[in-house]
Amino acid sequence: MAIEDDVLVIGGGLAGATAALAAADAAPDVRVRLVTYKQSTLRHASGLIDILGYAPDSPEEGPLVDPFDALSDLPEGHPYERVGSEAVREALAFFDDVAGDAYAGDHTDANALVPTHGGTVKPTARYPVSTADGLASDDRDALLVGFETLPDFEAPLAAAHLEAAGAPFSARGATIPFPGIVRDDAKVTRYAHLLDQDETVTTGAGETGAREALATTVAERLADESRVGFPAVLGDEHAAEVRADLADALGADVFEVPMGPPSLPGMRLEDLLYDALEDAGVRVTSGVPVIDYETATEADAVAADGGSGADRIDRVVVDRNGTEIPHCADQYVLATGGLVGKGVRSEREQVFEPIFDCHVPHAADRYDWFVDDVFGEQPYARFGLASDRDLRPLDAGDEPEFANLRAAGAVLGGYDFAAEKSGAGVSLATGYVAGTRAGEEADR
Amino acid sequence: MSDAEQPTDDHVPGAEEEEFEPIQVFPEAEEMDLRPGADNCYKCSTCDTNCPVAEVDDEFPGPKFQGPEQWRLKRQDDHDVDDSVMKCSNCMRCDSACPSEVPLSQMHNTARGEYVEEQMEKFSREYLRNRILANYRRLAPLAAAFPRTANFVMGLSVTKWMGEKLLGITSEREFPEFVTETFREWWTKRGGAKVENPDKRIAYFHGCYSNYNTPEVAKALVRVYEHFGYEIMVPDQSCSGTPMFANGMLEDARRAAETNVRELAAALEDGADIVASCSSCSMSLRQEYPELFDFENTETVAENTWDAVEYLRVHEDLESELEGRSVEGDEFDDFAYHAPCHSRNQGLDGQTIEVLSMIDGIEAHDVGDSCSGISGTYGWKEENYETSMKIGEEMFEHMDAADAQTGLTECPTCSMQMEHGTGYEIKHTLEVLEAALVGSGSAAGGRREAG
């Protein structure tokens, strides 16, 4: 007997979580399950929600002011072109509902410019509230604070970069010891935990809570700046409280600068999404991979959808440390990620999708998978599944691979999220559409 | 790229069929070769952000160091295993954290084994204490033979004081009580299986704790499975090995595993599947055995071992069977449920909440994904007690905030920590299923002699 649900989403990142939430939202009576193998790459993510930062065909023209203006110019096959710009707006509104107060930026269509830990600015549609006081369009002077034991953020360098990039304010960097951290390679979670729990730490000034100790150390460096930026380690579960305490003690606004992996803002986004999944009654099975599938008999397929011609997935097989557990659903969403998330894999002779073996368009000769210019238009960056407008993956003959499988997020091809800054937006839009359709169809 | 430089295959499905024949570049490995796993690490540090120890103790360098980095360092002859490996609690969260299939806990287990074997002083207090904790099962029969004496002596403050001063076992914790009748004694007295069924047979791996300390869990399993018409076998068995891996006592673990694999493989021959009620026992049989040992049938045993509730979900229509049932007694109304790390790593973290939601009148609240912090023998050590309680803080907070009368989990040591940190009485999921399926009579008698 298989474990049965109506909609089964495979993959637990931004696309998978959005698909599961959208399915539950579209059809409250259907039972939705999300199966995810390893932890999602949200822990690598900045936590920023970008839609489109640069036009794919003319990135040299600089960041886009309004990403929605550019959506209609995207080439055929781009995931945004597949779902249509109205769906992108709906998906973003759906995200705003889920995120509530945790994110900002919904007051305008225009991209916000968020400073990064390298001192560059990233165009993005939504941003965690913790970064809101750091926007590069804000003309207040800023003090950036780095920690001696956290080499990922070199505050003076980031400040100099920001000024060189033409930010409309003066930025200054200072590097301080983090009270309570002795070790050179303490994890970012250790910094966050110290502040979250306000653990007692010992500094030259004696024993105090970690928040007070940090504020005291920073206050000595603060001149007349009205905002202070820190690397994004200011708490995890109680991040808002940590920021408020620091701001009170410093008499200045406090913001976080998004960091490289592993990233607290990415982890907080993950927590936010998983809390929402729990509230929506979505069942989550994590830590185990989907390794195989079985198709339905022709008779069952005809009974289910009148016989569209495409195969129907009857069940998938989940591997639990060697034991094979069948999971059955009416509709399936594939949101296993791209080359980094391992939803798309490669070996010397081929690029492939490992669960359903869906067709991945790519050149036969592997020397055509890349170009020599590192920052040039790399073909491999666009590797992924092609889909129809219903987000069903297409085979080599442009026919749907399966009648009841849709794909969402980075497993889809036809776009270069790193170059055009569209990773989160594509995951949201395709996850929203795939999940909504799957939910509606399972409900019929 | 010449074929000699062909990168080591990183478990790409389908790659097995490749005709490519690698040229031997490195000498034949004489011991466990984890190089492919170490090479898979691209330093994203996701494992570090999942490590409950590194979050509260910045002296602990984290799983990325303990695994792939230490493994590389060790390739240099002049490097010993770093002693911080003993601070790893073996929660194994790093395994499911890794997006790149690095076998972190396997690396930790082998490094810890090597450290204990080659670097730890065999007459040291630490070694002696760890050996005792790892082999708790050896003491348990003695204590079980004289349970009242043992419980009395263990409960004495002088015993605890001596335990801490002489052995480094924390005096903050209450030793678990030994029962006057073990599960196996009960099983024998009862005359063994009450149901015979050549088509539906399970071999029950009860583990040490439900034999010596909480036989009510084992009895609940028996009644639930007999309710579904299963013939239950209770093969001879040794410790699963979990506490031995965690203490680097790999030789002790190997001996125990050899017995278990032999006995369980024989049960498989008799047409049984293996089920376990303790999440660390099933984890050990399923994952650690095939990673660390290669006895005949190790893989077969791993592939046919199941968590007790999961088995019923897949082989029976457990949810329909539970639908509309209810349980008498307030203690079963609202549970604060903690998913043990070793359940989480088997993809079972949502299972209990899903299954119990079918029973009328029962609400089980998940208290979040944090680690309880005790991790088997880890939190029993004097030097780890404080870290263990700091790790548990988040779970304690969430349990206190939950609207519940009783705690719920599948791991014996998590349950000790939950009770210790919050004062809740703790039950096992199987006890709730027993109450719902077999009736309130045996539910009320869960801790009494019944059967």
Nearest CA to A247 among A113, A169, A143, A126?
A: A143
pLDDT digits (tens, 9 = 90+) for A244-254: 999 999 999 99
Q: Which residues of A touch B15 (CB under 8 A)?
A: 347
**Are residues B102 and B139 both part of a single domain?**
no
The pLDDT of residue B239 is above 50: yes
Side-chain-side CA neighbours of residue A317 (13 Å): 13
Contact A322 B299 (CB under 8 A): yes
**Are residues B77 and B129 both part of a single domain?**
no
pLDDT digits (tens, 9 = 90+) for A146-204: 999 999 999 999 999 999 988 999 999 999 999 999 888 888 999 999 999 999 998 88
**Are residues B302 and B237 both part of a single domain?**
yes
Contact B349 A44 (CB under 8 A): no
The residue from A234, A257, A280 where one domain ends is A257
User: Is A391 inside any structural domain?
Assistant: yes
3-state secondary structure chain A: CCEECCEEEECCCHHHHHHHHHHHHHCCCCCEEEEECCCCHHHHCCCCECCCCCCCCCHHHCCCCCHHHHHHHCCCCCHHHHHCHHHHHHHHHHHHHHHHHHEECCCCCCCEEEECCCCCEEEECEEEHHHHHHCCCCCCCEEEEEECCCCCCCHHHHHHHHHHCCCCCCEEEEEECCCCCCCCCCCHHHHHHHHHCCCEEEECCEEEEHHHHHHHHHHCCCCCCCEEEEECCCCCCCHHHHHHHHHHHHCCEEEEECCCCCCHHHHHHHHHHHHHHHHCCCEEEECCCEEEEEECCHHHHHHHHCCCCCECEEEEEEEECCEEEEEECCEEEECCCCCCCCCCEECCCCEECCCCCCCCCCCCCHHHCCCCCCCCCCHHHHCCECECCCCCEECCCCCECECCEEECHHHECCCCHHHHCCHHHHHHHHHHHHHHHHHHHHHC
Task: Tell whether B323 lies on the interface with A, counting CB pairs under 8 A.
Answer: no
Structure tokens at B209: 């704790």
Structure tokens at B184: 């196996």
User: Is A106 inside any structural domain?
Assistant: no
Q: Which residues of A touch B354 (CB under 8 A)?
A: 283
Distance of alpha carbon A14 from alpha carbon A408, whole angstroms: 10
User: Is B23 inside any structural domain?
Assistant: no
Q: Which residues of A touch B87 (CB under 8 A)?
A: none
User: Is B15 inside any structural domain?
Assistant: no
Q: Which residues of B touch A287 (CB under 8 A)?
A: 96, 344-347, 349
User: Is A294 inside any structural domain?
Assistant: yes
Q: Which residues of A touch B286 (CB under 8 A)?
A: 320-323
Contact B366 A186 (CB under 8 A): no
**Are residues B147 and B98 both part of a single domain?**
no
pLDDT digits (tens, 9 = 90+) for A390-423: 999 999 999 999 999 999 999 999 999 999 999 9
Task: Tell whether B279 lies on the interface with A, counting CB pairs under 8 A.
Answer: no
Distance of alpha carbon A128 from alpha carbon A113, whole angstroms: 13
Contact B46 A286 (CB under 8 A): no
Distance to chain B for A326, nearest Cα, Å: 8
Q: Which of B55, B59, B311 to mutate to test the interface with A (most CBs of A within 10 A)?
A: B55
User: Is A211 inside any structural domain?
Assistant: yes
User: Is A109 inside any structural domain?
Assistant: no
* Chain B residue whose CA is closest to A37: B96
Question: What is the domain count for chain A?
Answer: 2
End-to-end CA distance of chain A: 24
- Structural domain of A148: 117-257
* Chain B residue whose CA is closest to A345: B12
CA distances from B256 to B129, B236, B260 (A): 19, 11, 6
Q: What is the pLDDT of residue A186?
A: 86
| Top-confidence range, A108-117, A372-381, B76-85 | A108-117
**Are residues A192 and A318 both part of a single domain?**
no
Amino acid at residue number A41: T
Task: Tell whether A238 lies on the interface with B, counting CB pairs under 8 A.
Answer: no
The residue from A222, A257, A292 where one domain ends is A257
Contact B49 A286 (CB under 8 A): no
Distance of alpha carbon A204 from alpha carbon A315, whole angstroms: 63
pLDDT digits (tens, 9 = 90+) for A43-96: 889 999 999 999 998 888 889 999 999 999 999 999 999 999 999 999 999 999
The position carrying tokens 């309130």 is B440
CA distances from A325 to A39, B275, B300 (A): 20, 15, 16
Is the bond preceding residue A262 a cis peptide, omega within 30 degrees? yes
Contact A354 B344 (CB under 8 A): no
Q: Which residues of A touch B99 (CB under 8 A)?
A: 38-39, 41, 340-342
**Are residues A239 and A276 both part of a single domain?**
no
**Are residues A204 and A251 both part of a single domain?**
yes
**Are residues B367 and B440 both part of a single domain?**
yes
The pLDDT of residue B17 is above 70: no
**Are residues B46 and B106 both part of a single domain?**
yes
Q: Within a 10 A sphere around the Cβ of A49, how many other Cβ atoms?
A: 24
Q: What is the pLDDT of residue A106?
A: 95
Structure tokens at B53: 């120890």
**Are residues A354 and A334 both part of a single domain?**
yes
User: Is A44 inside any structural domain?
Assistant: yes
Task: Tell whether B236 lies on the interface with A, counting CB pairs under 8 A.
Answer: no
**Are residues A244 and A273 both part of a single domain?**
no
Distance of alpha carbon A332 from alpha carbon A404, whole angstroms: 6
Q: What is the pLDDT of residue B3?
A: 41
**Are residues B108 and B130 both part of a single domain?**
no
Q: What is the pLDDT of residue B134?
A: 87
Contact B286 A322 (CB under 8 A): yes
| More confident of the two residues A433 and B16 | A433
Task: Tell whether A183 lies on the interface with B, counting CB pairs under 8 A.
Answer: yes
Average pLDDT along chain B: 87
**Are residues A280 and A412 both part of a single domain?**
yes
The residue from B88, B118, B148 where one domain ends is B118
Enumerate residues 6+ apart whose C-beta is below 8 A from A181: A147, A149, A190, A191, A194, B58
Interface confidence, given as ipTM, is 0.84
The residue from A212, A232, A257 where one domain ends is A257
Task: Tell whether B50 lies on the interface with A, counting CB pairs under 8 A.
Answer: yes
The residue from B318, B348, B368 where one domain ends is B318
Q: Within a 10 A sphere around the Cβ of B273, how many other Cβ atoms?
A: 17
User: Is B26 inside any structural domain?
Assistant: no
**Are residues B387 and B433 both part of a single domain?**
yes
Q: What is the pLDDT of residue B395?
A: 95
- CATH number where A432 lies: 3.50.50.60
Tell me which of A259-263, B73-77, B201-205 is least confident.
B73-77
Task: Give residues 325 to 384 of A whose Cβ lies within 8 Å of B.
Answer: 325-326, 340-342, 345-348, 352, 354
pLDDT-derived band at B1, boundaries 50, 70, 90:
very low
Q: Within a 10 A sphere around the Cβ of A109, how many other Cβ atoms?
A: 15
Average pLDDT along chain A: 94
**Are residues A375 and A279 both part of a single domain?**
yes
- CATH number where A135 lies: 3.40.50
Distance of alpha carbon A254 from alpha carbon A246, whole angstroms: 7
User: Is B272 inside any structural domain?
Assistant: yes
Task: Tell whether A38 lies on the interface with B, counting CB pairs under 8 A.
Answer: yes
**Are residues A294 and A434 both part of a single domain?**
yes
- CATH number where B46 lies: 1.10.1060.10
The position carrying tokens 């969402």 is A408
**Are residues A217 and A273 both part of a single domain?**
no
Q: What is the pLDDT of residue B25?
A: 64
Q: What is the crossing angle of helices A423-443 and A85-99, to 10°?
A: 90
Distance of alpha carbon B49 from alpha carbon A233, whole angstroms: 12
pLDDT-derived band at A305, boundaries 50, 70, 90:
low
Contact B55 A189 (CB under 8 A): yes
Contact A326 B314 (CB under 8 A): yes
Distance of alpha carbon A439 from alpha carbon A134, whole angstroms: 39
User: Is B415 inside any structural domain?
Assistant: yes
Question: What is the domain count for chain B?
Answer: 4
- Structural domain of B61: 34-118
Distance of alpha carbon A177 from alpha carbon A161, whole angstroms: 22
Task: Tell whether A188 lies on the interface with B, counting CB pairs under 8 A.
Answer: yes
**Are residues B313 and B330 both part of a single domain?**
no
**Are residues A199 and A248 both part of a single domain?**
yes
**Are residues B195 and B265 both part of a single domain?**
yes
Contact B347 A188 (CB under 8 A): no
Task: Tell whether B12 lies on the interface with A, counting CB pairs under 8 A.
Answer: yes
Task: Give residues 375 to 404 of B whose Cβ lies within 8 Å of A.
Answer: 393-394
Q: Which residues of A touch B84 (CB under 8 A)?
A: none
**Are residues B189 and B309 both part of a single domain?**
yes
The residue from B267, B301, B318 where one domain ends is B318
The pLDDT of residue B27 is above 70: no
Task: Tell whether B84 lies on the interface with A, counting CB pairs under 8 A.
Answer: no
Q: Which residues of B touch A286 (CB under 8 A)?
A: 96, 344, 347, 349-350
**Are residues A43 and A124 both part of a single domain?**
no
pLDDT-derived band at A103, boundaries 50, 70, 90:
very high
* Chain A residue whose CA is closest to B92: A287
**Are residues B429 and B414 both part of a single domain?**
yes
The pLDDT of residue B444 is above 60: no
**Are residues A95 and A122 both part of a single domain?**
no
Q: What is the pLDDT of residue B34?
A: 79
- CATH number where B355 lies: 3.40.50
Task: Give residues 131 to 150 of A whose Cβ lies within 8 Å of B.
Answer: none
Q: What is the pLDDT of residue B448?
A: 35
CB contacts < 8 A, A to B, total 132
Residue % of chain B over a pLDDT of 70: 90
